[in-house]
Chains A and B, each alone.
Chain A
Amino acid sequence: MPVLEFREALRAAMSEEMERDENVVLMGEEVAQYQGAYKVSKGMLEKFGPMRVLDTPISEAAFAGVGIGAAMVGMRPIVEFMSWSFTLVCLDQIMNNAANVRYMSGGQCKVPVVFRGGNGIAHQLGATHSHRVETIYTRIPGLIVVSPSTPYEAKGLLKSAIRCNDPVIFLESEKMLAEKGEVPDEDYTIPIGIAKVEREGKDVTVVSYGRPLSRVVRPAVEELIKLGFDPEVIDLRSLRPLDTDTIAKSIKKTHRCVIIDEDYGYCGIGDAILGKLHKLCFDDLDAPIERIASDEIPVPFNHYMEEAMMPSVGRIVDGVKEVCYRK
Chain B
Amino acid sequence: MAVAEVAVPSKVSSNESKNDGSVERQRIKTMLLIRRFEERTYQEYTKPGQKIGGFCHLYSGQEAISVGIASLFDKNRDYLINGYRCHGHSLALGMDPRAAMAELFGKATGCSKGKGGSMHFFDASVGNMGGHGIVGGHLPVALGFAFAQKYKKTGGFTICLFGDGAINQGTHNEALNLASLWKLPVIWMIENNGVAMGTEVARHSAETDLSKRGLGYNMPTANVDANDLDTFMAALAPAIERARKGEGPSYFSANTFRFRGHSMSDSMATYRTKEQQEAARLRDPITLYADRLMKKGLLNKEQYEAMEEEASNIIAKAVEQADADPQPPLEDRFKDILAETYPYQPK
Contacts and interface: CB of A to CB of B under 8 A. Distances in A.
A138 B129 CA distance: 26
Contacts of A59: 174, 177-178
A66 B151 CA distance: 12
Contacts, number: 173
Given A96-B137, A105-B112, A75 B151 contact: yes
Interface string B157-189: 000000000000011001101100110000000
Interface in A204-251: 241, 243
Interface residues of B, number: 51
B134 A192 contact: no
Contact of B144 (A65, A90, A106, A189): A65
B140 A108 contact: no
A312 interface: no
Contact of A108 (B124, B133, B181): B124
Contacts of B151: 25, 51, 70, 75
Contact of B177 (A62, A90, A108, A111): A62
Interface string B128-152: 0110111001111111111110010
Contacts of A54: 182
Given A73-B145, A107-B336, A194 B343 contact: yes
Given A66-B178, A70-B148, A97 B138 contact: yes
Interface stretch (B56-64, B114-122, B253-261, B319-327): B114-122
A75 B124 CA distance: 15
B345 interface: yes
A312 to B, nearest CB: 33
B344 A68 contact: no
A66 B142 CA distance: 7
B175 A65 contact: yes
A66 B113 CA distance: 26
Contacts of A90: 140
A280 interface: no
A165 B339 contact: yes
Given A62-B177, A65-B144, A106 B134 contact: no
Contacts of B123: 108
Contacts of A103: 115, 336-337
Looking at A54, A111, A142, A193, the one whose CB has the most chain B CB atoms below 10 A away is: A193
B344 A193 contact: yes
Contacts of B145: 69-70, 72-73
B343 A192 contact: yes
Nearest to A110: B339
Contacts of A65: 139-144, 171, 175
Contacts of A110: 339
Contacts of A194: 343
A243 B344 CA distance: 12
A109 interface: yes
B79 interface: yes
Looking at A56, A69, A92, A93, the one whose CB has the most chain B CB atoms below 10 A away is: A69
A166 B339 contact: yes
A64 interface: yes
B342 A193 contact: yes
Interface of A: 25, 51, 54, 56-57, 59, 61-75, 77, 89-90, 92-93, 96-97, 101-112, 141-142, 144, 159-160, 163-166, 189, 191-194, 241, 243
Given A54-B182, A62-B174, A62-B177, 19 more contacts: A51-B151, A61-B175, A63-B140, A65-B141, A69-B81, A73-B148, A96-B137, A97-B137, A97-B140, A103-B337, A104-B115, A106-B110, A106-B112, A106-B336, A107-B336, A108-B122, A141-B337, A159-B346, A160-B345
Closest 3 CB pairs of A and B: A69-B144, A65-B140, A106-B113
